[in-house]
């Protein structure tokens, strides 16, 4: 399933965009959020040189109806807020694309990572444009669950090989030593590594769209 990383330019009239541009060194991580037709609620971690000042500006924002400070430490504050302008949540909701949390907002830019079928990602782009949110796409790639790529046994052998330096240059572990460490036959270790390496390399090649050619 495709995975995309987007950078959204938050419009000037949206309070979270205005505030993060006012404090460009501040980072707002949205840990959780939900919305309905009229309002939205979010849980945010704010990191800044003076986070209390950022919170005060959030409290003063016209579209923010409540702010509760849940935790405070030097340079960090955890807040829950309610707003009548959850603009960032609406395109995701209307396109049926779940937002992966947390996502970060800094200096007026929100960074999203989303995983969804291609048609829903396309609809997300359409919805963002309809809400007046410009964006850039850092990448789109196929996301394949690790469990689908290699078996548990192959993963264990490859992980042990990495930990023991089998893939280092020069090698810190031989195939015989690796097999002894795993308590399996040398031939079994060799075949298991080969099958796992084949899957991993072919998947890597597909990610970069390397075309195979036949002689």
Q: What is the DSSP string of 62-104?
A: TTEEEEEEEEEETTEEEEEEEES--TTHHHHHHHTPPPPSPEE
Q: pLDDT-derived band of residue 209, with 50, 70 and 90 as boundaries? A: low
> Rounded to two decimals, what is the model's pTM?
0.67
CATH of the domain at 152: 1.10.10
Which tens digit of pLDDT belongs to each residue from 135-190? 999 988 765 554 467 888 898 999 999 999 999 999 999 999 999 999 999 999 99
Instruction: Point out the domain boundary residue: 90, 122, 142.
Output: 142
| Over residues 29-46, mean pLDDT | 92
Question: Does residue 165 share a domain with residue 138?
Answer: no
Q: pLDDT-derived band of residue 208, with 50, 70 and 90 as boundaries? A: low
List b or e across 97-120, with b for residues whose CB sees 16 or more CB atoms inside 10 angstroms. Answer: bebeeebebbebbbebebebeeeb
Question: Does residue 8 share a domain with residue 102?
Answer: yes
Question: Does residue 167 share a domain with residue 113?
Answer: no
Q: Tell me whether residue 154 is in a domain.
A: yes
User: Is there a contact between 140 and 100 (Cβ–Cβ < 8 Å)?
Assistant: no
How far is it, in rounded angstroms, from Cα 195 to Cα 191? 6
Number of domains in the chain: 2
Question: Does residue 183 share a domain with residue 122?
Answer: no
Q: Tell me whether residue 213 is in a domain.
A: no
- Helix %, strand %, coil % for the chain, to 5? 40, 30, 30
Question: Does residue 109 share a domain with residue 171?
Answer: no
Q: Tell me whether residue 128 is in a domain.
A: yes
Question: Does residue 177 share a domain with residue 87?
Answer: no
Element (H, E) at 164: none
Instruction: Point out the domain boundary residue: 91, 117, 142.
Output: 142
User: Is there a contact between 42 and 32 (Cβ–Cβ < 8 Å)?
Assistant: yes
Dihedral, CA atoms, 34, 63, 94, 22, nearest 10 degrees?
-90
Rg (CA), the chain: 24
Instruction: Point out the domain boundary residue: 89, 114, 142.
Output: 142
What pLDDT was estimated at residue 143?
58
Range of the domain at 180: 146-207
What pLDDT was estimated at residue 213?
45
What pLDDT was estimated at residue 62?
94
Question: Does residue 28 share a domain with residue 98?
Answer: yes
State whether residue 194 is helix, strand or coil.
helix
How far is it, in rounded angstroms, from Cα 78 to Cα 51? 10
Question: Does residue 167 share a domain with residue 118?
Answer: no
Q: Tell me whether residue 200 is in a domain.
A: yes
């Amino acid at each position: 399933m495709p995975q995309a990383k987007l950078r959204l330019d938050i419009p000037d009239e949206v309070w979270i965009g205005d505030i993060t541009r006012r404090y460009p060194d501040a980072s707002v991580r949205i840990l959780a959020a939900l919305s309905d037709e009229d309002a939205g609620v979010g849980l945010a971690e704010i990191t800044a040189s003076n986070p209390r000042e950022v919170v005060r500006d959030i409290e003063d924002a016209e579209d923010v109806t409540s702010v509760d400070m849940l935790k405070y430490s030097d340079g960090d504050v955890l807040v829950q807020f309610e707003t009548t302008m959850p603009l960032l949540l609406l395109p995701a909701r209307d396109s049926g694309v779940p937002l992966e949390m947390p996502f970060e907002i800094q200096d007026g830019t929100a960074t999203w990572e989303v995983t969804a079928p291609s048609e829903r990602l396309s609809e997300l782009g359409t919805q963002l444009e309809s809400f007046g949110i410009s964006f850039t796409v850092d990448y789109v790639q196929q996301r394949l669950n690790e469990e689908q790529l290699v078996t548990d046994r192959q993963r264990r052998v490859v992980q042990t090989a990495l930990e023991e330096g089998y893939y280092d240059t020069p090698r810190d572990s031989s195939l015989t030593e690796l097999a002894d460490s795993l308590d399996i036959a040398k031939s079994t270790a060799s075949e298991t590594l080969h099958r796992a390496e084949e899957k991993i390399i072919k998947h890597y090649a597909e990610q970069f769209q390397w075309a195979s050619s036949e002689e």
